[in-house]
């Protein structure tokens, strides 16, 4: 298969498997999504979803979050890991949203990425899922699968994002990146990967990777 043929097959098959793509992180607006995505760095979505109810009960707006101390935030989010960085980042960007953006999460990659603890992937998730702006956030699942499928060279997440955007139609990005994540979690994990279960990779994957795979 050519890359274009692989892309067409993937979009059709992933749409069949995952016609609905609910965002895995519990939230109800752009700010709660932003906080949840920051907390998800090197932490599972499931664990984040056990922490955010307590956090958002105390502070679910930039003003409420900025009113908490860094220590109060840290105590609640500790199970998510990277506590010092995340607690300081959440506190600081909450104040920045108040000071620079009239209390509203900005719908701009540049403004989001200027905030502490907000990298390009986090900004991409917020832009795509909160504001509907086409983006292709690349997490570990997408990076892994795009390489397994022979659609990128695997050298960096930046290259994977560039290759994905070149390959898939722009109007599919926001849904497709979630569909790939769902497939990676269910069928093509980093550990315990089998050709029998991962039928998409068995069909279109790199021959060198599949050669010794059961």
Q: Please name each of the domains of the chain with its CATH number.
A: 3-21+137-210 (1.10.1670.10), 30-129 (1.10.340.30)
Segments of the chain with pLDDT less than 50: none
Note the pLDDT of residue 65.
Answer: 98
Q: Of 88, 139, 165, 172, which is the active-site residue?
A: 139
Note the pLDDT of residue 171.
Answer: 97
Note the pLDDT of residue 211.
Answer: 87
Q: Of 6, 86, 121, 198, which is the active-site residue?
A: 121
Active site residue 121: yes
- Would you list the DSSP string of the chain? --HHHHHHHHHHHHHHH-S----SS--SSHHHHHHHHHHTTTS-HHHHHHHHHHHHHH--SHHHHHHS-HHHHHHHHGGGS-HHHHHHHHHHHHHHHHHHHTTS--S-HHHHHTSTT--HHHHHHHHHHTT--------HHHHHHHHHTTSS--S-HHHHHHHHHHHS-GGGHHHHHHHHHHHHHHH--SSS--TTT-HHHHHHS-HHHHTT--
Active site residue 139: yes
Note the pLDDT of residue 213.
Answer: 82
pTM (2 d.p.): 0.94
């Amino acid at each position: 298969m050519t890359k274009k043929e692989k892309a067409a097959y993937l979009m059709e098959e992933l749409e069949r498997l995952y016609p609905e793509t609910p965002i895995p992180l519990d939230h109800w607006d752009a700010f709660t999504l932003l906080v949840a995505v920051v907390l998800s760095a090197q932490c599972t979505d499931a664990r984040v979803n056990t922490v955010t109810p307590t956090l958002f009960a105390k502070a679910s707006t930039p003003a409420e979050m900025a009113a908490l101390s860094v220590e109060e935030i840290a105590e609640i989010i500790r199970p998510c890991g990277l506590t010092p960085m995340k607690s300081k980042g959440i506190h600081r960007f909450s104040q920045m949203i108040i000071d620079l953006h009239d209390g509203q999460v900005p719908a701009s990659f540049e403004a989001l990425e200027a905030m502490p603890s907000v990298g390009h992937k986090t900004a991409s998730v917020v832009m795509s899922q909160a504001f509907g702006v086409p983006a292709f956030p690349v997490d570990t699942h997408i990076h892994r699968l795009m390489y397994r499928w022979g659609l990128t060279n695997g050298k960096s997440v930046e290259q994977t994002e560039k290759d994905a955007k070149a390959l898939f139609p722009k109007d599919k990005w926001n849904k497709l990146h979630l569909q790939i994540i769902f497939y990676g979690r269910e069928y093509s994990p980093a550990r315990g990967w089998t050709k029998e279960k991962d039928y998409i990779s068995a069909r279109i994957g790199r021959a060198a990777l599949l050669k010794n795979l059961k």
